[in-house]
């Protein structure tokens, strides 16, 4: 038998996804987007929107406005042509709508192509294409050919429809979770308004009333400090250093670090301890976080430290800071013409706080913290579902 010359043997990789419904085996076929649908820009401007308009009006953001007219009735994918949402915001609709002159609509999908599948595929792949074609590190605008000549792989129509149906179910789950989170947040806001205006009061265990609340300046009931005024020299490993972004995101793990020597020097001036509260005071104002862990860290001047006090339940104070009444106290003392806006440290001490007795403080804190726990549980479910979807998208497309 003659020997086989391996140099002349070539193998072609089959274009199929890693994760697939078992009833499908055909290879996916490459198509440009202008081969599967019509692509056009809109004819409207932002000023055409109507607050109570009858139809959706797609502009250059994730926000869908309203309008009194429609220019298309059918299935479409919409994405921004410029602005902050370039390559990142996508909408799917099947109905009457109008759209901005710098918004692209992909519509009138040809036979054997599912608009819903194309939406999921386009939303997953488009930003990377735009970024590659951009000459700069940021993407400012989209040209027609960026969409029209975008090449992607498509399966048969039945497989497209099954994938789209599955991903749409995941999106519906995400939408339900986000709605649940929003309802919980609205419920908490309503309860806080009633609690801190004393329309809603807790009772003692025997059913009797608690004493009347006191009102005092914050500086009368606790000590408060700001962080270091000098930007420290950071080190690769060392003591965590907190700033505004850690408080606003409630993430205190990924921080910059300072040396032990710098920490010890700052720690002599003010020591951050479990039970203290950090509150933003420059740029973002009035976001607070209770330090409920054993902490060894320092912090920047953009944060105020509210020291724990025996006459104040720290969890109650942390909740009270986010109330409308205390936020108004901060707002009227904020220097709004400064850039970034800020509240001077001394003015924080002049803000008035409502002080129930300690037992009622504890009941208020427990009730609101229970709602926070429910919100956090839903938030974790949202994050887990988003990660699940991300994994699917990475494996279900070629």
- pLDDT, one tens digit per residue, over 223-270 is 999 999 999 999 999 999 999 999 999 999 999 999 999 999 999 999
Question: Whole-model pTM?
Answer: 0.84
Q: What angle do CA 67, 78, 151 make, to 5 degrees?
A: 165
**pLDDT > 90: percent of the chain:** 89
Number of H helices, E strands in the chain: 10, 17
Give the pLDDT confidence score for residue 135 in this predicted structure: 61
Question: Average pLDDT of 371-389?
Answer: 97
pLDDT digits over 327-339, tens only?
Answer: 999 999 999 999 9
Question: Average pLDDT of 107-111?
Answer: 97
Give the pLDDT confidence score for residue 100 in this predicted structure: 96
Give the pLDDT confidence score for residue 7 in this predicted structure: 46
Q: What angle do CA 180, 181, 187 make, to 5 degrees?
A: 90
Q: Pick 8 or 387 by higher pLDDT.
A: 387
Give the pLDDT confidence score for residue 219 in this predicted structure: 96
Looking at every residue in the chain, the average pLDDT score rounds to 94
Question: Average pLDDT of 352-366?
Answer: 97
CA distance 103 to 86: 10
The DSSP code sequence of 181-195 is HHHHHHHHHHHHHHH
Q: What angle do CA 134, 139, 141 make, to 5 degrees?
A: 95
How much is the CA Rg of the chain, to the nearest whole Å? Answer: 28
Termini Cα distance of the chain: 40
pLDDT digits over 150-181, tens only?
Answer: 999 999 999 999 999 999 999 999 999 999 99
Question: Average pLDDT of 50-77?
Answer: 96
pLDDT tier at 311, thresholds 50, 70, 90:
confident
Give the pLDDT confidence score for residue 8 in this predicted structure: 46
- Check pLDDT > 50 for residue 131: yes
CA distance 307 to 314: 9
Give residue 187's Cα distance to chain centre: 20
Question: CB atoms < 10 A from the CB of 6, how many?
Answer: 6
Give the pLDDT confidence score for residue 9 in this predicted structure: 42
C-alpha dihedral over 358, 363, 367, 368, to 10 degrees? -10
For 272-284, give the secondary structure using H, E and C. Answer: CCCCCEEEEEECE
Q: Which residue has the tokens 């004393």?
A: 198
pLDDT tier at 12, thresholds 50, 70, 90:
low
CA distance 317 to 290: 9
In contact, 265 and 290? CB cutoff 8 Å: no
CA distance 332 to 314: 24
CA distance 333 to 160: 57
Maximum pairwise Cα distance, the chain: 103
Give the pLDDT confidence score for residue 2 in this predicted structure: 42
The DSSP call for residue 45 is: -
- Check pLDDT > 70 for residue 87: yes
Give the pLDDT confidence score for residue 141 in this predicted structure: 85
Give the pLDDT confidence score for residue 10 in this predicted structure: 43
Give the pLDDT confidence score for residue 5 in this predicted structure: 46
Give the pLDDT confidence score for residue 136 in this predicted structure: 61
pLDDT digits over 33-63, tens only?
Answer: 999 999 999 999 999 999 999 999 999 989 9
Residue 20's SS3 state is: coil
């Amino acid at each position: 038998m003659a020997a086989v010359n391996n140099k002349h043997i070539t193998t072609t990789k089959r274009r199929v996804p890693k994760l697939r419904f078992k009833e499908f085996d055909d290879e996916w076929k490459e198509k440009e987007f202008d081969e599967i649908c019509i692509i056009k820009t809109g004819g409207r401007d932002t000023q055409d929107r109507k607050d109570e308009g009858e139809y959706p009006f797609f502009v250059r953001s994730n926000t869908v406005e309203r309008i009194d007219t429609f220019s298309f009735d059918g299935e479409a994918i919409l994405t921004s042509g410029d602005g902050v949402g370039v390559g990142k915001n996508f909408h799917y609709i099947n109905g009457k709508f109008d759209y901005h002159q710098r918004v692209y609509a992909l519509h009138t999908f040809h036979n054997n192509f599912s608009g819903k599948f194309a939406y999921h595929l386009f939303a997953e792949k488009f930003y990377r294409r735009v970024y590659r074609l951009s000459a700069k590190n940021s993407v400012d605008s989209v040209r027609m050919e960026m969409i029209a000549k975008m090449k992607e792989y498509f399966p048969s129509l039945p497989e497209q429809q099954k994938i789209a149906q599955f991903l749409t179910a995941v999106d519906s789950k995400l939408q339900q979770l986000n709605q649940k989170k929003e309802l919980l947040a609205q419920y908490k806001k309503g309860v806080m308004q009633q609690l801190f205006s004393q329309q809603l009061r807790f009772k003692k265990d025997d059913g009797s009333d608690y004493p009347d609340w006191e009102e005092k300046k914050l500086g009368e009931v606790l000590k408060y400090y700001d962080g270091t005024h000098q930007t420290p020299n950071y080190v690769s490993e060392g003591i965590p250093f907190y700033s505004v972004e850690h408080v606003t995101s409630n993430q205190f793990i990924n921080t910059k670090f300072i040396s032990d020597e710098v920490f010890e020097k700052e720690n002599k001036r003010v020591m951050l301890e479990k039970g203290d509260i950090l509150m933003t005071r420059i740029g973002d104002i009035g976001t607070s976080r209770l330090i409920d862990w054993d902490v060894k860290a320092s912090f920047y001047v953009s944060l105020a430290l509210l020291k724990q006090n025996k006459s104040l339940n720290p969890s109650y104070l942390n909740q009270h800071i986010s109330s409308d009444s205390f936020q108004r106290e901060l707002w009227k003392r904020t220097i709004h013409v400064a850039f970034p806006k800020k509240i001077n440290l001394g003015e924080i001490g002049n803000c008035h706080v409502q002080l129930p007795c300690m037992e009622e403080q504890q009941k208020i804190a427990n009730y609101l913290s229970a709602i926070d726990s429910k919100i956090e549980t839903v938030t974790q479910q949202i994050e887990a579902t988003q990660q699940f979807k991300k994994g699917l998208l990475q494996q279900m497309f070629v």
